[in-house]
Chain A
C-alpha cells in the first residue's frame, strides 16, 4: 500500500495523506485563531469607535491615516519614541557591557565563590518588580535623579542582569577550553580571549539577550511613569500612549493606531535579531 502511494507521488514532493486531513484542519484553525486578534488589531486602527464596536471583524471602509496622525500628534509620540529609543539603547549597551564580562568570568571559574555569585544572580528572579518600586523611587529622589532618564538607564540594566548573565553563562560554557588555550599560546590576553573567542562565538546568545531585554526595556511602563514622569520632553512611549485613553470615553481607533506606531521599532528589532535568536533556541543553549 505504502509502495503504491510512493510510486504515485512526484519525486521530492511531500505526499498528502487523507489521514493527515484532521491535523491540517486543526493547524489551520489554530493559525486562523491566532490571526483573528492580529487582524482585529490592525483593522481597528483604520476605524471609528462606532465601527469597532458595532462590527468588530468587518474590514475598514477606508485606509486613511487620520487615526495615526491624530495619535502621533496628540500624544506627542515622536519625542516619546526618541526618548524610549535613548533609554533602551543606552540601557542595552550598559547591560551588555556588564553582563558579558560577568558571564565570562563566571563561566570560566570553577571555584565555590563563582558558584555562589552565579546563584546570587539567579536569586534576582525572585524579586517581584512591584516590590522594588518604592525603594527605587526613594533612591532616585535621594540621588537627585528623579524625573530624569539617566536613572532609568542605570536602573534597567540592574533589573536585566540576572537573566542576561544566566543566559550568557550557559552559552560561554559550551565553548571548548582548547579554543582559549590556543589563543593563549598565540599571546592573547584575558580581554583578547573575551573579545576574539567568547564574544563572537556567543553571538546567538548575545542576540537573545539583546532581543529579550529590548522588549523588556521598550515596554517598561510602571517605573518610567513614576521615575521619569509625564514631562513630554522626557516621557517614554509607554507613558505617552495612555494619554490617548480617557476616563470619559476612549477613541479606540486612535489608541490602536498609536499602539501600532509604538510597535514598529519592536518589529524592526525582531526582524533584525530573529534569525540569531532562533538559532540560539534551536541549538538548545538557552536554559530557562
Chain B
C-alpha cells in the first residue's frame, strides 16, 4: 500500500499551509505597524465606538474630516473600558496610536508624568485653542507640575434628576432641597411602592454620589486634600458628611439593595419610573425616554443643616474626554494639528452638542435642545453649588478599592465608623 501523499507532497502541502498561514498575518502587518511613521496616516484611539453616547456623531464628523482631507488616511481604533491597558502595551511596543481620546481617570492620570503621552502646553497656543477651551477645563487637565495632560474636549454635568410625575403620585410636590425634605419624600415614595433614589452602589456612580454627600460639610480645598490623602477620620467635616450619608441610607432614601446595583440597573430603574430620583451624568440623562423626560426636572443634591454649601450640590467635570497626543503623534504633528483643529471647529462642536447630546469643555452657544434634560442641566448655572469630583485627586491605585469601599457604605447597617475604616483601607492597601 503506497501513500497517496508522499514525503515530497507532504512537504509541499506543509509549505502551502505555512504560506496560507502567513497571508492573513502579512495582510495585517503594516496596518498599525507601519503607520506610526507615515505622515499621511492618522491613527486615533478612543472609547467612542459601539453604542457609547456621542459615538454616532464622532463617526459622522470623522467622515466629514476624511472628505475634507482626501489625501489623509484616518484609522479609528475603539476600545471600551480596557483602552488604558491596550494603549499602554502598544506604547511599550512603540506602536501606539497618534491621538487618544479618553477620560482623565484612574490610570490615565499618570500618563503624562510617565511619558506615555506628551504635555500639550505648547500646542495649546500654537494651534490657537486657548480661547476656544474653557479656562476651568484647562485647570482640571493640568497636573501639579503645570503640564497640560491633554486638550479638554467633552465635559459633563452631573445633576440629580427628579421624576415629578412619580413624586406627585406619592404626594411629594416640591423638589427636596434639604436632607429632612429628602427623607420625608423617600417615606412617601416608599409607601407608594416607588424607590426614592436609585444608585449604582457597586460601581463608580455610587462612588461619585458618596463623594458628593461627604462633601456636604467640606469646602473645595478640604475636599481636594481629603481625596488626595484619604484621611477620612482626620479632616474636619468628612466624618459629618459620612454620618449624613448613613442617616439618609438608614432612612430608606436609597433604593433597596443599592450596594449590589450598577449604572445600568440605576438608569433602568429611573427610566422605567421604578425610582423617582437619580444622580446621573448628562450622557445618561440624554437616554431618558421621552415619556419620563417630559416629567423630569434636574437640580442638586439636598443638603443637611450646617452644610458649607449655600445651595444643593451637583458635580461638574471637564474630564470626560480630551485629546492626548502620543510620542508617535509628535512625529507627524502637522497631521495631528489638522485633525485637532478640525475637531474644535464651532460646527463640529455644535454637532456633538446638538446631535450627540454631549456637554463640551469648549466655548459654544449651542444647547442640546434635542435632549431636554441635558439642556436643562446645561442651564442650571449658579442655581446649584458645585462640589469637587474626586477623580483627579484619588491616587490611581486607590480607585478600585474605593469602589469596593463604596459598596460597603451602601450596605444597610454599616456604621459611619466602619465606612471610614473601609475608605481609609482603600488608600492604605492601594
Contact = CB atoms under 8 A, between A and B. Distances in A.
A250 B75 CA distance: 25
Interface stretch (A31-39, A170-178, A230-238): A230-238
B5 A248 contact: no
B75 to A, nearest CB: 7
B95 A147 contact: yes
A74 B45 CA distance: 16
Name the residue in A189, A228, A233, A243 with the highest tally of chain B Cβ atoms < 10 Å from its Cβ. A243
Interface string A127-147: 000000000010011001111
B28 A144 contact: no
Interface in A211-260: 225-226, 228-234, 242-252, 254
A188 B1 contact: yes
A75 interface: yes
Contacts of B274: 54
B24 A90 contact: yes
Secondary structure at the A interface, as helix, strand, loop or mixed, is helix
A52 B78 CA distance: 26
A70 interface: yes
Given A191-B6, A191-B7, A249-B287, A243 B263 contact: no
Interface stretch (B47-55, B134-142, B296-304, B345-353): B47-55
B2 interface: yes
Interface residues of B, number: 60
Interface in B41-89: 45, 47, 49-53, 55, 75-83, 85-86, 89
B7 A49 contact: no
A49 B2 CA distance: 63
Contact of A70 (B10, B51, B93, B283): B51
B397 interface: no
A232 B24 contact: no
Interface in B371-398: none
B287 A146 contact: no
A124 interface: no
B26 A150 contact: yes
B1 A54 contact: no
Contacts of B265: 53
A196 B263 contact: no
B268 A192 contact: no
A231 B32 contact: yes
Contact of A249 (B5, B79, B81, B284): B284
> Most B CB atoms within 10 A — which of A90, A189, A248?
A248
A251 B269 CA distance: 14
Contacts of A273: none
A150 B29 contact: yes
A14 interface: no
B219 to A, nearest CB: 29
Given A148-B28, A150-B22, A249-B267, A242 B272 contact: no
Contacts of A198: none
B199 to A, nearest CB: 14
B287 to A, nearest CB: 6
Contact of A248 (B3, B14, B263): B263
Contacts of B272: 50, 53-54
B113 interface: no
B17 A183 contact: no
A115 B29 CA distance: 40
A141 B264 contact: no
Interface in A143-167: 144-151, 153-154
Contacts of B79: 230, 242-243
A74 B93 contact: no
A76 to B, nearest CB: 8
Contacts of B2: 187-189, 192
A195 interface: yes
A87 interface: yes
Contacts of B281: 248
Contacts of A242: 79-82
B77 A153 contact: no
B78 A54 contact: no
B21 to A, nearest CB: 5
Contact of A192 (B3, B32, B55): B3
B14 A187 contact: no
Contact of B4 (A141, A154, A195): A195
Given A49-B271, A53-B268, A248-B52, A153 B1 contact: no
Nearest to B204: A247
Contact of B5 (A147, A195, A229): A195
Contacts of A97: 14, 17
B50 A93 contact: no
A247 B6 CA distance: 57
Contacts of B204: 247
Given A94-B21, A225-B82, A229-B77, A243 B1 contact: no
Interface core residue of B55, B75, B89, B274 (most chain A CB under 10 Å): B89
B194 to A, nearest CB: 13
B370 interface: no
A86 interface: yes
A86 B284 CA distance: 38
Contacts of B169: none
Contact of A150 (B25, B31, B86): B25
A250 B78 contact: no
A150 B1 contact: no
Given A54-B272, A247-B80, A189 B28 contact: no
A146 B289 contact: no
A249 B20 CA distance: 42
A7 B211 CA distance: 78
Given A49-B271, A150-B24, A232-B76, 6 more contacts: A74-B50, A137-B89, A149-B24, A189-B3, A191-B10, A248-B53
6 contacts: A154-B21, A225-B85, A246-B52, A248-B53, A249-B284, A249-B287
Interface of A: 49-50, 52-54, 70, 74-75, 83, 86-87, 90, 93-94, 97, 137, 140-141, 144-151, 153-154, 183, 186-189, 191-192, 195-196, 225-226, 228-234, 242-252, 254
A-B pairs with the 6 shortest C-beta distances? A150-B25, A192-B3, A53-B268, A186-B1, A243-B50, A141-B93
Interface of B: 1-7, 10, 14, 17, 20-22, 24-26, 28-29, 31-33, 45, 47, 49-53, 55, 75-83, 85-86, 89-90, 92-93, 95, 204, 263-265, 267-269, 271-272, 274, 281, 283-284, 287, 289
